[in-house]
A and B are shown apart, each in its own frame.
Chain A
Amino acid sequence: MDWADSEKSYREQFIKDFEAKYPNIKIEYTLLTVDQFQNTILTAIKSGDAPDLFPIPATMKLSTAVKEGWYQPLDAYIDDAFKSSFVDGAFTEGTTMLDGKVYSIPALAGVPSTLVFFNKKLFQEAGLDSNKPPKTYSEFRDAAKKITAAGKGKYYGIIEGGKQIGRWKLAATEWSALAGSGFASESPVSLKDGQASYDSEAVLGVFDLFKGLKQDGSYHPKTMSLSAPEARALFAEGQAGFIVQGEWNVGTWTKNNPNLDFGVMAPPVPDAGQKGYLPRSTYAPWIGMSASTKHPEEAAIYLKEYFSKEYQSVLVQNGDRFSILKDVNESSAEIAQFKQYYEIVQQYSRLVPSVAVRNPGASAVMASFKDPKPGLGDILQGVVAGSLKDPAAPLKQLSGQIDKALDAAIDQAKAGGAKVDRSDFSFSNWSPDKDFSAEDYQALK
C-alpha cells in the first residue's frame, strides 16, 4: 500500500512480472492518496491488517513509528550487497536507521521539486531565447510578463496548482533557501541560526516576486482553482510559459504530450545574486516491513526486486524519478530534460544538515509539534489570490507562532524524557555551499 501514483503503470507491469517470476507469491497492491492513507493506516495496524510493506506518513518520524511498533528491522532479510547498491547515506542513523538497525528504505533520491519548467514554443513567440532562460527575479518577472502579452489571453506567463497549499509552501521554502534563508522542509526553523525568521529578507523577496507576478497579471487566471495535476495538464496544453514542478513531470509529459517542447531551468535568484542553495535533504524513510507481517521472506524478495537495478532503471528511463540506487541515474537517464534536471540539481542544491541525524531524540519534538495556521503556504496562496496585500505582517506573526510552537514541542519532548535542546536546531558549522557531511556532524559533538 502506498501513494506513489505516477509510477502506477510501471508498477503494475512490475507486479505482473514479479508474480510470473515467483508464482507462489501473490501481491495485493493498494494505491491511495496521502490523505486516504493517513486515514487508513492506523486502523489497519490496530486490527492486525497492516500490509506487509507500507510507507511511513510523510510528516511522521521513523522513531515514532518504530516506538509505536509499526515496523520491524530489515537487517535479517537484507544483505550487505543489497545495502551497498544504494547511494551513500541512504541508510543513516536517525532517518532510516535506529539503534543501528535498518527499518526503512528511501523511495527515491530526494531532490528539490521546485525547479521551473518552461515552454520553448511560447518563449519563441514572446521573443525570448529559450537557450537563455531568465536567471534573476526581475528577469523571471519580465519573461512571464512578455509571455502573457504575447499570449493575448490564449496563454499566460505562469500556472500553478493554486489549491494545493503544500506546493506553495515548498516553493516558498526552497526558493528562499536559494536566496539564503537557511530553510529546509524538514525543520520549522532556519538551519543557519535556529531562528523562525520567516520575515527575513530572503523570504520576503520570494513573496515580493510572487506578488509582482500577480500584479503583472502573469498568473494563468485559472491558477487558484486548480490542483497541481490539473495545472500540469494545462501547462502541457501550452497555456502557460512557466510552471514550478518536480522531476516526475518529465516522464508524464514525454509520454502523454509528445508535442510539448519544454525546457527546465533553476529557480530564479534575487537580483543581488544567489545567496544559498536549494536544500537537498538526507534521504527520507519510505517503505518498511510491518512488525506483524506473516510473510517476511516474501516481502523481502519484493523489496529486492523493487530496488533492483532492472526496475529502478525503468523508472529513471521513463523520467519518473531519480533512483536511490548508485549509478542508475547516470547510466539510465535517457530523456534530455530529465538529464538536465539532474544536472541543475547537482549544481544548485546541496545536502543540508538534518536535526534528526544529529540528535535522533529530536524526532520526539516533531512528533508533538503543532503547525500554526495559516502557514507559509497559506500566506503565499493568499498573496497570489490577492487576499493579502502585504505579506510582511502575517509572516512576522507566523515567525512568532512557529517560534512558540517549537519551544512548546521541545518542552513536551523533554517532559517525555527526550534529550533535546533548541540548539540542536541550528548548525553553526554549516556552510550552505557544501554538502553537510558525516564529519560535520562529528565536529558538532
Chain B
Amino acid sequence: MRQLRKSLFHLIMVAFCFVWIYPFLWMLSAAFKTDGEFFSNGLKLIPDRFKLDNFKRAWEGANFDTYFLNSVVISASTILLVLFATATCGYIMGRHSFRGKKIVFALLVASMFVPMEFAIIPIFDLIKNLGLMNNLFGVILAEAGGNHIIFILLFATFFREIPNELEEAAVVDGSGFFRTFAQIMLPLAKPVVGSVTIMQFIWSWNSFMLPLILTLSKPDLRPLAVGLYALQGENVVDWTGIAAGGAIAILPIVVIFLLLQRFFVDGVAGAVKG
C-alpha cells in the first residue's frame, strides 16, 4: 500500500514536471530547428532534423569564446561582493541594535520601491567620474550596486533565529566580533548564501544594459548577455539562434543550481541546538 502511494506520488510529480518544463524543452528543441520549422512545427518537441547551425551561429554571433570569460569574472566577483555586503549588513540587522538602525532600515526598504528605469544615466556618470569606464571593475561595482535589501532581510531573519547560546559560547571562548560572525554565524547561513548566490548569479549573468553602456568602446570586456542580445534585432529576429544561445548560456546557471542544492538539504539546521 505504502509502495503504491509512493509510485503514485512519483507518477504525478513526473507528469507535473513534464508539463511544467514543457516550454523549456521546447526552447531546447527550437535550438535545433530551422527558422521555418520554428513556426510551422508549432508545439512539437522533436525537430525534423537535428541541425547544429544555430549553435554555431549563436556561438559566433554572440562572441561566446571572448564573452564567456568576462561573464564568469563579472558574475563571480559580483556575487562575492554582494554576499560580503549583505551578509555583514544582515548580521548586524538581525542580531544587534545600534543607533540609526531604524533610519537605515527604512531608507533601504523605501528605495526598493523606486522603479530604476531612468537610473542608467546617473550610474554611468558616477562610474565615469570614478575613472572606471571601460574597465571590468566598473561593471562589477555597478552590478553589485543593485538593490539587495531582500538579501539583507533574508540574512537578518536567518541570523535572528540562531539561538544566543551559540554566540555566547563563542564569546566565552574569546572569539571577537568578526570571528564570531565569520566562523560561527556565516557557516550556519549556508541556505541563505545558496539562495543569494543563485539569485545574484541569474541577475548578473543576464544583465545587459549596464555592461553594454559601461564598455562602449571596449567590446572585448562585454559579457555574454550583451552578445546574445545582438541576435534579437528590431525587424529581424533570429529566434532559433536565440534559443541555441540561450540553451548554452543557461548551462552554467543549471550547474550552479545543482551544486548549491546541497546547501538546501544538508540539514545545516541540525547544527543549531534548539
Residues of chain A whose beta carbon lies under 8 Å from any beta carbon of chain B: 3, 5-6, 8, 28, 30-34, 36, 39-40, 42-44, 46-47, 49, 227-230, 233-234, 236-237, 248, 252, 256-257
Contacts and interface: CB of A to CB of B under 8 A. Distances in A.
Given A31-B230, A229-B235, A43 B121 contact: yes
The interface centre, meaning the residue of B124, B128, B230, B234 with most chain A CB atoms within 10 A of its CB, is B234
19 contacts: A5-B233, A6-B235, A32-B229, A43-B120, A43-B124, A43-B216, A46-B125, A47-B128, A47-B216, A49-B133, A49-B216, A227-B237, A229-B235, A229-B237, A233-B35, A236-B39, A237-B36, A256-B36, A257-B36
Contacts of A256: 35-36
Interface in B4-50: 35-36, 38-40
Nearest to A50: B216
Contacts of A8: 233, 236
Contacts of A31: 230, 233
B73 to A, nearest CB: 21
A229 B242 CA distance: 14
B212 interface: yes
Contacts of A248: 235
Interface in B110-126: 120-121, 124-125
B234 A233 contact: no
Q: Per DSSP, are chain A's interface residues mostly helix, strand or loop, or mixed?
A: helix
B232 A40 contact: no
B54 to A, nearest CB: 14
A30 B40 contact: no
Contacts of B229: 32, 36
Contacts of A252: 236
A36 B212 CA distance: 10
A257 B38 CA distance: 12
B272 interface: no
B217 interface: yes
A376 to B, nearest CB: 21
A227 B234 CA distance: 10
Contact of B232 (A33, A42, A43, A44): A33
Given A28-B219, A47-B124, A47-B128, A234 B39 contact: yes
A33 B40 contact: no
A292 to B, nearest CB: 11
B92 to A, nearest CB: 36
B133 A47 contact: yes
B235 A233 contact: no
A249 to B, nearest CB: 9
B209 interface: yes
A39 B120 contact: yes
Contacts, number: 71
B213 interface: yes
Contacts of B232: 33
Contact of B234 (A34, A236, A237): A34
A210 B229 CA distance: 34
Contact of A229 (B128, B212, B213, B236): B236
Interface string B210-235: 00110011010000000001101111
A367 B99 CA distance: 50
Given A5-B236, A6-B235, A8-B233, A49 B217 contact: yes
Nearest to B220: A28
Contact of B219 (A30, A36, A39, A237): A30
Given A46-B124, A233-B39, 7 more contacts: A6-B233, A8-B236, A30-B230, A32-B229, A40-B213, A43-B121, A233-B35
A39 B208 CA distance: 12
Interface in B124-139: 124-125, 128, 133-134
Contacts of B216: 40, 43-44, 47, 49
A122 B133 CA distance: 56
Contacts of B219: 28, 30
A291 to B, nearest CB: 16
Contacts of B120: 39, 43
Contacts of A43: 120-121, 124, 213, 216
B234 A33 contact: yes
A256 B237 CA distance: 13
A31 B212 CA distance: 12
A8 B209 CA distance: 21
Contacts of A42: 121
Nearest to A234: B39
B234 A3 contact: yes
A262 to B, nearest CB: 15
A36 B234 CA distance: 10
Nearest to B222: A30
Contacts of B124: 43, 46-47
